[in-house]
Amino acid sequence: MQRSTMIISPRASFLRALLLIASLGGAVAAAGQASDGAPQPPAAAAVADETPAQKLGAFEIVSVARARALVADKRVHPIDARPVAKYLAGHIPGAIHLDDEVLRGPSGALPVQFHRTDELAAIFARAGVSVGTPVLAYGDGEDPLSAAIMAYALLKTGHPRVLLLDGGFEAWRGVAEVSQEHGVLEVSDWRGSPPAEPVAASLDEVRRVVDTDEGVLVDARPAKVYRGEGKGWMRNGHIPGAVNIDWKSLMRADNEALFKPRKEIEAILRAAGLDPSYPTIVYCGTGREATLLYLYLRCVLEWQRVTLYEGSWTEWSSDPSLPVAIGDEPFIPVYADGDVLVSGQPSEALLRELADQGVTLVISCRTPREMAALSFNQSALAKSLGIATIDIPLGGSEGFEPKDVEAFKSALVAHKERDQGGKVLLHCASGGRAAELWVAHLVVNEGLTPEAAEARARAAGIRGPSGLDRLLGRDRPAQPKP
């Protein structure tokens, strides 16, 4: 077995199947205050009604000009998510204070997790938040995430319309009235219900993406933390295969509560290889930083297949059986089954190394959009190294058909006739799709039973396929809609 030096990690169960990414105690005290400054206790705990699940609520990033008009007409309920001292010093007129710390707490062995949706509903109801009035959440340039996590929790709990103030309190203070009067707390009945679509991703769902490559993981933390530099976690690094998009890269440098223009943000996402047709899971350290990315991808760009891994690095790094990657490259090891190597996306350095080791053909299972987002031209580099390249795209709306297995066989036969003794690299983003194609080839073209093919791949260290039935043309599920 031949490995690159990128990651040495324990492998999870080989046959975890993934066809789609899918699927605290009592109530927390109120965070508002009465107009005379004295705390006003809630009258009774309010919980979400047992009404049918609904669609994810509408979310919008609004300018300060529009926010001023909405506040003046009393058409929104402002929520100040900044520290209470800042709220007391001055806030948007009519705003209540609700610290984002009340949205999460210890859960089992994890020090911080989101409360259940019924608990969140009780918190919002006691703060006087009603689903009948749109909410305007805001933070400031020092901590714009306080508003993002507030908006995420409101949408997850079933609020139908949430607005986020672009530029935060700094933008408001420069052009509009500031108040020091405390918002009046009036306990409301929460009549929203959580959306039917999945909002949060579980540990098992993230693990299946790592195992199968059917999905994209996005790490929203700073690059230094992503690379595993410094301390602060039980284990440092990132989830194998994850790409890094620091949440701050979406914001302006002079005011981190102010978003960059949409075209600039879309360019950042394209450069990272993100595709709206592919399941995307965002994560960070504790689930806080990733809320901003979730809101932008799912609600602003309206990507339909985005979820947030709330356990994030806190949960992943605490399990020693789960793999960890370090450095800039989010790629997995190279495994050899005879003269065929299976891997994730090779870097320029790794491709040069593999050329020295006798690789003369590279077969990519990545889509054209994925390949276009690479930081280097793989075909041109391979050609300069004397390596032929072939594309058999699997992913998104492409591939996973028996003809792809036949195309792979034809490529191997032609390569053997042309270059006897040369090795073949079969790759995708992190190895999952490539493994699926290799195992399907063993079944269709070499006559192995599926069980024997999987055992052979497992012996070589190659992870298990989830798309085998599709490639074999049996029990094929309908293609998911983007």
Angstrom distance (rounded) from CA 144 to CA 74: 24
CB 167 within 8 A of CB 136: no
Cβ distance 208 to 279 under 8 Å? Answer: no
pLDDT of residue 40: 34
Tell me the backbone φ, ψ of residue 392, rounded to 5 degrees: -125, 80
Per the CB < 8 A criterion, the answer to whether 395 and 365 are in contact is yes
- Decide if 132 contacts 160 (C-beta within 8 A): no
Distances (CA, A) of 328 to 122, 123, 352: 42, 40, 18
Residues ≥6 apart with Cβ < 8 Å to 263: none
pLDDT at 232: 80
**Can 24-196 and 335-472 be said to share one CATH topology?**
no
Q: Are the C-beta atoms of 399 and 476 separated by less than 8 Å? A: no
Could you tell me whether strands 161-165 and 135-138 are parallel, antiparallel, or unpaired per DSSP bridges?
Answer: parallel
Superfamily of domain 24-196: Rhodanese-like domain (3.40.250.10)
Q: What does the pLDDT read at residue 5?
A: 26
Q: Enumerate the active-site residues.
A: 284
* Under 8 Å between Cβ of 30 and 97: no
* Domain covering 200-317 assigned CATH 3.40.250.10 in the classification: yes
Cα torsion 350, 454, 438, 442 to 10°: value is 140
Every domain of the chain and the residues it spans: 24-196, 200-317, 335-472
Q: How many residues are given for the chain?
A: 482
Give 244-267 pLDDT, tens digit per residue: 999 999 999 999 999 999 999 999
pLDDT of residue 458: 81
Chain centroid, CA 46 distance in Å: 31
CB 172 within 8 A of CB 138: yes
- For residue 113, give the H/E element and its range: strand 110-114
On whether the CB atoms of residues 157 and 192 are closer than 8 A, the answer is yes
pLDDT at residue 457, as a whole number: 86
Give the DSSP letter string of 445-458.
TT---HHHHHHHHH
Closest CA to 129 of 99, 159, 164: 159
Closest CA to 6 of 347, 246, 286: 347
Distance, CA of 134 to CA of 157 (rounded, Å)? 14
Q: Tokens 């591939």, residue?
A: 399
What CATH class does 335-472 carry? alpha beta
Q: What is the pLDDT along the chain (482 residues), one digit of tens a residue?
A: 333 222 222 222 222 222 122 222 333 333 333 333 333 333 333 334 444 447 999 999 999 999 999 999 999 999 999 999 999 999 999 999 999 999 999 888 788 899 999 999 999 999 999 999 999 999 999 999 999 999 999 999 999 999 999 999 999 998 999 999 987 767 888 888 899 999 999 999 999 998 877 789 999 999 999 999 977 888 999 998 899 999 999 999 999 999 999 999 999 998 888 888 889 999 999 999 999 999 999 999 999 999 999 999 999 999 999 999 988 765 557 889 999 999 888 989 889 999 999 999 999 999 888 888 888 999 999 999 999 999 999 876 677 889 999 999 999 999 999 887 799 999 988 777 888 899 999 999 999 998 999 889 888 777 655 556 666 776 543 433 33
Tens digit of pLDDT for each residue in 317-374? 999 999 999 887 655 578 899 999 998 889 898 899 999 999 999 999 998 888 888 8
